[in-house]
Amino acid sequence: MPYIALKLVEGRSIEKKRELVSSVTKAVCDSLEITPDNVRIELIELKADLFSIGGELVSDRDQVKAK
């Protein structure tokens, strides 16, 4: 432990993901005073047409904004 599931909307670069898992792991280790080898992070990328806010798919909201 700890096991971290991090949900974010799809689209970040692999470099951003590297930076994300590295800095979140460090933050967890510094706070809980543990070593990194037991810290696991699962990135769950949400697709805009499978995620809604306020009853509307994010993909539909994006299209409205794009017009």
Which of helix, strand or coil describes residue 2?
A: coil
Q: For this structure, is 36 an active site residue?
A: no
Q: Are strands 3-9 and 56-57 parallel, antiparallel or unpaired?
A: unpaired
Sole binder of its own copies in the list 14, 64, 65, 67 (CB under 8 A): 14
Query: What is the Cα–Cα distance from 54 to 8, expressed in whole angstroms?
Result: 17
Phi, psi at residue 25, to the nearest 5°? -60, -45
Instruction: Check residue 22 for interaction with its own copies (CB under 8 A).
Output: yes
Instruction: Check residue 66 for interaction with its own copies (CB under 8 A).
Output: no
* Interface residues toward its own copies, by CB under 8 A: 1-9, 12, 14, 16-28, 30-32, 36-46, 49-57, 60
Active site residues: 2
